[in-house]
Amino acid sequence: PELTEPVTLGRQSISPQVLNAGREAYVHYCYACHGLAGDGQGPAAKGLRPAPRDLTKGIYKFAGVAAGDFPSDEDVLRIVRYGLGGTAMLQWDVPEQEARNIVQYVKWLGRARWTKARPLLPADAAIPVDPFGRARRSEAVERGNRLYHTTLSCYLCHPAYATAAELRAYGLANIRTNAYEPEAR
Protein backbone atom coordinates (compact mmCIF):
# COMPACT_ATOMS: atom_id res chain seq x y z
CA PRO A 1 0.00 0.00 0.00
CA GLU A 2 1.00 3.60 -0.59
CA LEU A 3 2.62 5.32 2.39
CA THR A 4 0.67 8.39 3.46
CA GLU A 5 2.55 9.75 6.48
CA PRO A 6 6.09 11.09 6.85
CA VAL A 7 8.50 8.80 8.72
CA THR A 8 11.46 9.84 10.86
CA LEU A 9 14.52 7.71 10.16
CA GLY A 10 17.59 8.67 12.13
CA ARG A 11 17.38 12.45 12.32
CA GLN A 12 15.52 12.90 9.03
CA SER A 13 11.81 13.19 8.35
CA ILE A 14 11.13 11.47 5.04
CA SER A 15 8.01 12.37 3.07
CA PRO A 16 5.63 9.65 1.88
CA GLN A 17 6.16 10.86 -1.70
CA VAL A 18 9.92 10.16 -1.47
CA LEU A 19 9.31 6.75 0.14
CA ASN A 20 6.73 5.76 -2.49
CA ALA A 21 9.03 6.87 -5.30
CA GLY A 22 11.86 4.99 -3.58
CA ARG A 23 9.76 1.83 -3.39
CA GLU A 24 8.99 2.05 -7.12
CA ALA A 25 12.69 2.46 -7.99
CA TYR A 26 13.66 -0.28 -5.49
CA VAL A 27 11.28 -2.73 -7.18
CA HIS A 28 12.79 -1.84 -10.54
CA TYR A 29 16.46 -2.09 -9.54
CA CYS A 30 16.75 -4.03 -6.27
CA TYR A 31 13.85 -6.46 -5.89
CA ALA A 32 15.38 -9.37 -7.85
CA CYS A 33 18.14 -9.84 -5.28
CA HIS A 34 16.87 -8.21 -2.07
CA GLY A 35 13.20 -9.26 -2.41
CA LEU A 36 10.02 -7.23 -2.09
CA ALA A 37 10.27 -7.19 1.71
CA GLY A 38 13.99 -6.32 1.59
CA ASP A 39 14.83 -9.55 3.41
CA GLY A 40 17.49 -10.67 0.91
CA GLN A 41 15.20 -13.39 -0.46
CA GLY A 42 14.56 -12.12 -3.99
CA PRO A 43 14.15 -14.58 -6.88
CA ALA A 44 17.86 -14.32 -7.79
CA ALA A 45 19.14 -14.62 -4.20
CA LYS A 46 19.61 -18.40 -4.16
CA GLY A 47 22.33 -18.19 -6.80
CA LEU A 48 24.30 -15.36 -5.20
CA ARG A 49 27.35 -15.68 -2.93
CA PRO A 50 27.68 -13.83 -0.73
CA ALA A 51 23.92 -13.69 -0.27
CA PRO A 52 22.16 -10.31 -0.69
CA ARG A 53 21.95 -8.24 2.48
CA ASP A 54 18.77 -8.46 4.55
CA LEU A 55 17.87 -4.77 4.51
CA THR A 56 15.10 -5.21 7.10
CA LYS A 57 17.72 -5.52 9.84
CA GLY A 58 19.05 -2.01 9.18
CA ILE A 59 22.62 -3.25 9.61
CA TYR A 60 25.22 -2.30 7.03
CA LYS A 61 28.77 -3.55 6.73
CA PHE A 62 30.17 -1.13 4.21
CA ALA A 63 30.10 2.39 5.57
CA GLY A 64 32.56 4.96 6.87
CA VAL A 65 31.20 4.86 10.42
CA ALA A 66 32.02 3.01 13.61
CA ALA A 67 30.38 -0.38 14.20
CA GLY A 68 26.78 -0.01 15.31
CA ASP A 69 26.35 3.50 13.95
CA PHE A 70 24.26 4.33 10.92
CA PRO A 71 25.82 5.05 7.58
CA SER A 72 25.22 8.43 6.06
CA ASP A 73 22.90 8.73 3.09
CA GLU A 74 26.02 9.28 0.98
CA ASP A 75 27.48 5.94 2.13
CA VAL A 76 24.32 4.06 1.10
CA LEU A 77 24.08 6.09 -2.12
CA ARG A 78 27.65 5.14 -3.01
CA ILE A 79 26.78 1.44 -2.67
CA VAL A 80 23.57 1.83 -4.71
CA ARG A 81 25.40 3.68 -7.47
CA TYR A 82 28.78 1.92 -7.55
CA GLY A 83 28.13 -1.54 -6.06
CA LEU A 84 30.41 -3.63 -3.86
CA GLY A 85 33.45 -5.41 -5.26
CA GLY A 86 33.57 -9.14 -4.56
CA THR A 87 29.78 -9.38 -4.34
CA ALA A 88 26.85 -9.61 -6.73
CA MET A 89 25.98 -5.99 -5.88
CA LEU A 90 26.74 -4.42 -9.23
CA GLN A 91 27.19 -0.82 -10.25
CA TRP A 92 23.82 0.58 -11.36
CA ASP A 93 23.22 3.45 -13.72
CA VAL A 94 20.39 4.88 -11.61
CA PRO A 95 19.34 8.48 -12.17
CA GLU A 96 20.41 10.67 -9.24
CA GLN A 97 16.97 11.36 -7.77
CA GLU A 98 15.85 7.75 -8.11
CA ALA A 99 19.03 6.60 -6.35
CA ARG A 100 18.41 9.06 -3.50
CA ASN A 101 14.82 7.84 -3.21
CA ILE A 102 16.08 4.23 -3.07
CA VAL A 103 18.38 5.21 -0.18
CA GLN A 104 15.42 6.51 1.81
CA TYR A 105 13.35 3.42 1.01
CA VAL A 106 16.21 1.11 2.03
CA LYS A 107 16.31 2.96 5.36
CA TRP A 108 12.53 2.52 5.61
CA LEU A 109 12.93 -1.24 5.06
CA GLY A 110 15.17 -1.28 8.16
CA ARG A 111 12.84 1.07 10.03
CA ALA A 112 12.64 -1.14 13.12
CA ARG A 113 16.23 -0.15 13.82
CA TRP A 114 16.33 3.27 12.16
CA THR A 115 13.39 4.58 14.21
CA LYS A 116 14.57 3.27 17.61
CA ALA A 117 18.35 3.45 17.62
CA ARG A 118 20.59 6.43 18.08
CA PRO A 119 20.57 9.04 15.32
CA LEU A 120 23.04 9.48 12.50
CA LEU A 121 26.45 10.83 13.38
CA PRO A 122 27.08 14.44 12.44
CA ALA A 123 29.03 14.82 9.20
CA ASP A 124 32.15 16.04 11.05
CA ALA A 125 32.28 12.80 13.08
CA ALA A 126 32.71 10.55 10.05
CA ILE A 127 35.63 8.14 9.97
CA PRO A 128 38.44 9.55 7.82
CA VAL A 129 39.08 8.47 4.26
CA ASP A 130 40.93 5.21 3.65
CA PRO A 131 44.43 5.64 5.14
CA PHE A 132 46.00 3.54 2.40
CA GLY A 133 44.65 5.67 -0.43
CA ARG A 134 45.08 4.87 -4.08
CA ALA A 135 48.88 4.90 -3.99
CA ARG A 136 48.98 1.95 -1.56
CA ARG A 137 45.92 0.07 -2.84
CA SER A 138 47.74 -3.19 -3.64
CA GLU A 139 49.35 -3.14 -0.17
CA ALA A 140 45.93 -2.67 1.45
CA VAL A 141 44.38 -5.46 -0.62
CA GLU A 142 47.22 -7.83 0.27
CA ARG A 143 46.95 -6.95 3.98
CA GLY A 144 43.18 -7.45 3.96
CA ASN A 145 43.52 -10.73 2.09
CA ARG A 146 46.11 -12.01 4.56
CA LEU A 147 44.06 -10.93 7.61
CA TYR A 148 40.88 -12.50 6.18
CA HIS A 149 42.58 -15.82 5.56
CA THR A 150 45.00 -16.06 8.52
CA THR A 151 44.67 -13.88 11.63
CA LEU A 152 40.88 -13.49 11.49
CA SER A 153 40.21 -16.91 9.90
CA CYS A 154 37.15 -15.55 8.09
CA TYR A 155 37.63 -18.09 5.31
CA LEU A 156 36.76 -20.93 7.70
CA CYS A 157 33.07 -19.99 7.36
CA HIS A 158 33.01 -17.52 4.47
CA PRO A 159 34.32 -18.16 0.95
CA ALA A 160 38.06 -17.92 0.45
CA TYR A 161 39.14 -15.21 -2.00
CA ALA A 162 42.79 -16.14 -2.31
CA THR A 163 44.05 -18.81 -4.67
CA ALA A 164 45.09 -22.19 -3.24
CA ALA A 165 48.73 -21.22 -3.88
CA GLU A 166 48.26 -17.96 -1.92
CA LEU A 167 46.60 -19.85 0.94
CA ARG A 168 49.58 -22.23 1.11
CA ALA A 169 51.97 -19.25 0.94
CA TYR A 170 50.14 -17.82 3.98
CA GLY A 171 51.12 -20.99 5.82
CA LEU A 172 47.70 -22.65 5.73
CA ALA A 173 48.36 -26.37 5.52
CA ASN A 174 44.80 -27.67 5.88
CA ILE A 175 42.60 -25.90 3.35
CA ARG A 176 38.99 -27.03 3.57
CA THR A 177 37.67 -28.88 0.53
CA ASN A 178 34.97 -26.35 -0.34
CA ALA A 179 37.01 -23.26 0.53
CA TYR A 180 35.36 -21.16 -2.18
CA GLU A 181 31.84 -21.74 -0.85
CA PRO A 182 30.40 -20.54 2.47
CA GLU A 183 30.52 -23.16 5.22
CA ALA A 184 27.06 -24.44 6.07
CA ARG A 185 26.47 -24.20 9.82
Identify the pLDDT of residue 95: 94
The whole-number pLDDT of residue 72 equals: 82
Between 95 and 128, the more confident residue is 95
**Stretch among 30-34, 54-58, 121-125, 181-185 having the lowest mean pLDDT:** 121-125
Greater pLDDT, 70 or 39: 39
pLDDT, residue 120, reads: 47
pLDDT at position 183 over 80 = no
Contact 152, 160 (CB under 8 A): no
Residue 103's pLDDT is 95
What's the rounded mean pLDDT across residues 31-49?
94
Quick check: 10 pLDDT over 90?
Answer: no
Per-residue three-class SS string for 4-71 = CCCEEECCEEECHHHHHHHHHHHHHHCHHHHCCCCCCCCCCHHHCCCCCCCHHHCCCCCCCCCCCCCC
What's the pLDDT score for residue 85?
82
Q: How many angstroms separate the Cα of 1 from the Cα of each of 16, 19, 24, 119?
A: 11, 11, 12, 27
Give pLDDT, residue 154.
Answer: 80
Would you state the pLDDT for residue 9? 87
- Cβ neighbours for 154, distance < 8 A, ≥ 6 positions apart: 148
pLDDT at 45: 92
| pLDDT tens digits, 97-144 | 999 999 999 999 999 888 775 544 445 445 556 667 777 888 888 888
- 110 touches 34 (CB < 8 A): no
- The length of the chain is 185
pTM of the model: 0.64
pLDDT tens by residue, 131-179: 677 778 888 888 888 888 887 778 777 888 888 888 888 888 778 777 8
Tens of pLDDT, residue by residue over 48-74, are 988 999 999 888 776 666 656 678 888
